[in-house]
Chain A
Amino acid sequence: GAVVSQHPSRVICKSGTSVKIECRSLDFQATTMFWYRQFPKQSLMLMATSNEGSKATYEQGVEKDKFLINHASLTLSTLTVTSAHPEDSSFYICSAVDRGQPQHFGDGTRLSIL
């Protein structure tokens, strides 16, 4: 149980492109989803918390207009990196949680901006 699917697993694109990443909870309803970013040899950095049907809560220093989050249903959240630049290259990971349960992570998306 508690399977979280994240797609795509890898993206390579040109600077200025917008990239959408999907996160789905496959066998449970996720009351909350989280989006993290991880640079090489560093720990997870929380970017934003996403609740179904409401606006995402962004962590300090994360630009909400650059990282658009849409949590359209209890099983789907999307992160769109708008006008991506090389400094946005990173490993983006989502997690989903049913109320009171631990976070379970998707497989991550490795984003490379050329």
Chain B
Amino acid sequence: QKEVEQNSGPLSVPEGAIASLNCTYSDRGSQSFFWYRQYSGKSPELIMSIYSNGDKEDGRFTAQLNKASQYVSLLIRDSQPSDSATYLCAVNEAGTASKLTFGTGTRLQVTL
């Protein structure tokens, strides 16, 4: 059973702070990792993808991957109220080109 684990939250951070979202996965063969943002009642939106160990930065977002520890994280700098959403970690299933296993998501609340 391939699993992707996330803390469901809610994670509450004040506006302007750094939000840190974490994810662990069980499939050692996974090669592709994604973070999706999902607002209430909407479909997921891709915000970051990462394929190799280390950090990948895109604007206020930084994804971090550690394959040895089977751990992927997302940092959001200068958090804004508009960042309040559920963040889904997704991991590709080894041996498939694009099939993903999703975590249950972490709900982030950015407070004023």
* Chain A residues proximal to chain B, CB less than 8 Å: 6, 32, 34, 42-44, 46, 49, 93, 97, 99-108, 110
Is B102's CB within 8 Å of the partner chain A?
Answer: yes
13 contacts between A and B (CB under 8 A): A34-B99, A34-B100, A42-B104, A99-B97, A100-B98, A101-B98, A102-B46, A103-B98, A105-B36, A105-B45, A107-B42, A107-B43, A108-B42
Q: How far is the CB of B41 from chain A (nearest CB, A)?
A: 8
CB distance from A6 to the nearest CB of B (A): 8
B97 partner, pick from A6, A43, A100, A110, beta carbons under 8 A: A100
Further contacts, 7 of them, CB under 8 A, given A44-B102, A107-B43, A108-B43: A34-B100, A99-B98, A102-B98, A103-B46, A104-B46, A105-B45, A108-B42
Q: How far is the CA of A44 from the CA of B32 in the complex (A)?
A: 18
Instruction: For A32, list chain B residues within 8 Å (CB).
Output: 97-98
CA distance A110 to B99 in the complex (A): 23
Name the contact of B88 in the complex, choosing from A6, A44, A101 (C-beta under 8 A). A44
B residues whose Cβ falls under 8 Å from a Cβ of A: 32, 34, 36, 41-46, 49, 88, 90, 97-100, 102-105
Contacts of B34 in A (CB 8 A): 102-103
- Give Cα A43 to B91, complex, Å: 14
Asked if residues B102 and A43 are in contact (CB atoms below 8 Å), the reply is yes
B94 to chain A, nearest CB (A): 15
Q: Roughly how many angstroms separate A49 CA and B93 CA in the complex, as a whole number?
A: 13
CA gap between A19 and B41 in the complex, in Å: 20
Most buried by A among B34, B41, B98: B98
CB distance from A40 to the nearest CB of B (A): 10
Bound together, the chains give a CA A19 to CA B36 distance in angstroms of 28
- Tell me if B46 and A44 are in contact (CB < 8 A): no
CB atoms of A43 and B88 under 8 A apart? yes
